[in-house]
Amino acid sequence: MITAWLAGLLRHRGGRLLVAALTVALAVALMAALGTFLTASRSTMTARAARSVAVDWQVQLQPTAQPAAVLDTIRHTPGIRTALPVTYTRSTGFQTKAAGSVQTTGDGVVLGIPDGYRTAFPGEIRPLTGARDGVLLAQQTAANLHAAPGDTVRIALPGTADATVTVAGVVDLPQADSLFQKVGAPPQSQPAAPPDNVVLLPAALFESLTARARAQDPAASTTQVHTARDATLPADPAAAFTAVTGAAHHLEARLSGAVQVGDNLGAALDAARQDALYAQLLFLFLGAPGVALAALLTSALVSAGADRRRREQALLRTRGLGRRRVTALAAAEAGAIGLGGGLLGIALAALAGRIAFGRASFGAAGLVPLRWSLIALAVGVAVAAVTVLLPAIHDQRTTTVTAARRSHRSTGTPLWQRTGLDFILLAVALLVFRAAAGNQYALVLAPEGVASISVSYWAFLGPALLWLGSALLLWRLMTYAFAHGRRALTLLVRPLTGTLAAATASGMARQRGVLARSVILLALAVSFALSTAAFNDTYRHQAEVDAQLTNGADVTVTQPPGAATGPDAGHVLASIPGVRHVEPLQHRFAYVGSDLQDLYGVNPATITSATTLQDTYFAGGSARSLLDKLATRPDSVLVSEETVKDFQLTPGDTLNLRLQDSRTKQLSTVQFHYAGVVKEFPTAPKDSFFVANAAYVARETGSDAVGAFLVDTGGVHQQAVADRLRERLGATATVTDLTQTRSAVGSSLTSVDLAGLTRIELGFAVALAASAGGVVLALGLTERRRTLALASVLGATRDQLRGMVLAEAATVALFGLAGGALIGWTLAQMLTKVLTGVFDPPPSSLSLPWPYLALTLLATLAALTAAALHATRGSGRPAVEELREP
């Protein structure tokens, strides 16, 4: 019986079943795709975090520890692959003679590096010039001493005679921050920057040079055991973080307080688990609305044939089938839609992963996770059961056969309209939004003073309620417009229907429920596409802004401290192929009271030629207006918010800063006037600093020395230009480009492939918008073929019938697209404001991907047009045949 019933449905209602299964497939595919991305991204973020660390653990030995015993214990600890001792000692300075001049540095650090260290930890030391082993100078030290391989350097060591060594090579220390950390110290006690002066010595040479000093004072040197782990980490960053930190604590306990572990791997995994939570937010924000929309679309498609299905079931009951048998047939139909659509959706998710990431598993090893496949399949079956099976069960229990054979149309006002549910939801959404926006939503929370990482899901309640409330309000407005706006509708459709405009408007008023449903679904789909696209594009844009803010420009050339390079040196850099503009940037230090802060001198007229300055970087005026103040009044200065608060400054106040005078080498007082607040600035730290007019600073201090050159390449070929600059400048300056900074400051989530995820979710958004606009309208028009047949019998021409159909399509398109654009824009603004803490720096405005939005619009209009044309072709069927059908 069930097989025959399904066979009949496929023969006579195959198109309708296929469309319903396709909408279920969209919901299943979207959930499976996002779930798979969530799993794959977590696994990839864990692996990426582990690869980003050169030394997993820096095990600091306490003064009373026995180095040989500790090293042996660490090497025999499960999960440790390599363990090598590194010794640190302080130096009172380095000195070298070159070209008849003597160069001397301040305090520095000398490291004793064992044999095989560079092979065991390849990411810690990067050779630049000269030999790879022997006496090595850090790049900054070589620049300070004007030293090169073959030169001799005198090392001043406390408690012993100075030592003279010959430089074998110059190296870069990519992870100097962690290499010179204070192991066990809290973050606020860590050095603001790694030391500028570093010499690396072979372990044997280090031992011989420092033996006397260590004999007199054992605390003169400290020893760390640098370790690399080989233990398999859990795929989830949070679980990996827990495992690694637990192992570090276990080692400390095992060695009875003889060591402290600097857990570099744990710190990297800590950052990765925050990014994993952001991936979870993406799943919540992008997955839930999409699945809900696909479910609503399926419900609309099924309900479009509800009357026909109800009459067919009543006929079965009339011919003797019991309620259970009829319910079983409905369950079979729901199962066919749910299982068929679910399996197709899983296949679509795998195909989407292969297209966007090259693998069905979204870049990770293996296939689509079984857990997410089962969850998504269960969701598809549930959607089909709710939309097909539950109405059938309800009809069996509450409707007589006679009543079921009649067409059911609701004439009363729905309960939610009578109670004003739409207004209530919007009011609550506004209240939640104000509370969430005021709290500056962030992923890292500190309940009761204990730092922890969690997602504040309640912050998403505002956008969710806005989405629902706006949809209900639009439904209310559309129902009212179709019911009471016949005159306006008549004028609107007259160009398409001519003399049948009034009849068409009356028909639309009678079908206001169906038309309002089509408008709402189209509006929700468009709002989903718009809000998703705006949020993703804004995040991508701000990630790029963050990278440029950190690096300064496409390429940045940083001068060593104390260098007297003037702005004219930029002409040499400008001659490098690929360089479009070079902007000098002063970097000085200034005392305000007893507080030492960075001061940046800029040319207000040309600074924006090399870098981007957003209005959100400033307060008290736009970026352009505050730069104009620096230009028109050279003694103006932009100050951080913290300084304004600490010193109770108001615009125009005199601010006396103490800067070093290059002529006297003493601090001198320079008078500035407070002009505005600067929050962020290229290459500047995140804490307090000043921005002033470079010409004024040079005049008052007697020096136009430049701290850095910002190099604009037009946004292309940054890495190639940086390589040319390094080749030209050698070790005399540090060259960084935007590509390497982007990978350093970008979250591991964006590094995984946020672009691929964006392509997938936006592709689903286009499909949902097209389905909501075209398929629902097509089925609605199919249900009204009888109305078109009656119009044909009454004398309507083929062109007039086509005009009636096109009028409905145009009305749905106009109101659906306009309503969706308004809801989507408002939703995107709310989400961006609520998630301000996720963006760094916060955006000044939404970034919109116009090509994608144009594609969405064209796809939706094409679907609506195809639906209308399909209906007009159906209107050519003889009216008598249509009217004879039950």
Rounded to an integer, the average pLDDT of 539-559 is 84
Do 781 and 656 sit in the same domain of this protein? no
Are both 597 and 573 inside the same structural domain?
yes
Q: What is the pLDDT of residue 749?
A: 47
pLDDT over 70 at 506, yes or no? yes
* pLDDT value of residue 450: 36
- Helix, strand, coil % in the chain, rounded to nearest 5: 60, 15, 25
The verdict on 700 and 594 lying in the same domain is yes
Identify the weakest region by mean pLDDT among 109-123, 190-204, 784-798: 784-798
* Type and span of the H or E element at 669: strand 667-678
Structural domain contains residue 245: no
Together in a domain, 708 and 562: yes
Burial pattern 653-684, b for ≥16 Cβ within 10 A else e, equals: eebebbbbbeeeeeeeebebebbbbbbbbbbb
Confidence check: pLDDT of 626 > 90: yes
In a domain, 248, yes or no: no
Residues 115 and 226 in one domain: yes
Q: What's the number of domains the chain is made of?
A: 3
Query: Has residue 322 got a pLDDT over 90?
Result: no
* Res 179 pLDDT > 50: yes
State whether 472 and 573 are in the same domain. no
Question: Phi and psi (nearest 5°) for 453?
Answer: -120, 125
State yes or no: pLDDT of 447 exceeds 60: no
Q: Does one domain contain both 569 and 536?
A: no
Q: Supply the pTM of this predicted model.
A: 0.71
Weakest-pLDDT range from 455-469, 542-556, 620-634 = 455-469
Rg of the chain on CA atoms, in Å: 35
Residue 530 lies in a domain: yes
Q: How far is CA 500 from CA 270, 486, 491, 503, 794, in A?
A: 68, 13, 11, 5, 12
Query: Could you tell me if 870 and 555 are in contact, meaning their C-beta atoms sit under 8 angstroms apart?
Result: no
Is there a single domain that holds both residue 548 and residue 570? Answer: no
Say if residues 229 and 246 touch (Cβ distance below 8 Å): no
In a domain? residue 395: no
> How do residues 563-593 score in pLDDT, each as one tens digit?
788 899 888 899 999 999 999 999 988 888 8
pLDDT at 505 over 60: yes
Q: Are residues 606 and 487 in the same domain?
A: no
| Residue 747 shares a structural domain with residue 876 | yes
Average pLDDT, the chain: 81
682 with 824, same domain?
no
Q: Residue 57: what pLDDT?
A: 94
Mean pLDDT of 800-822: 84
**310 within some domain:** no
Task: Indicate whether 386 belongs to any domain.
Answer: no
- Same domain for 670 and 754, yes or no, is no
pLDDT for 656 beyond 80:
yes
140 pLDDT band, cuts 50/70/90, is: confident
Candidates 513, 529, 509, 532; CA nearest to 776 is: 513
Q: pLDDT class for 883, splitting at 50, 70, 90?
A: very low
Q: Which residue did the predictor score with more confidence, 767 or 436?
A: 767
Residue 511 banded pLDDT, cuts 50, 70, 90: confident
CA-to-CA separations, 407 to 90, 310, 403, 880, 885, in angstroms, rounded: 91, 9, 8, 20, 14
The answer to which of 210-214, 297-301, 372-376, 517-521 has the lowest mean pLDDT is 297-301
Domain that holds residue 141: 85-230
Of 670, 695, 712, which residue is a domain's last? 712
* Within a domain: 275: no
Q: Is residue 785 part of a domain?
A: yes
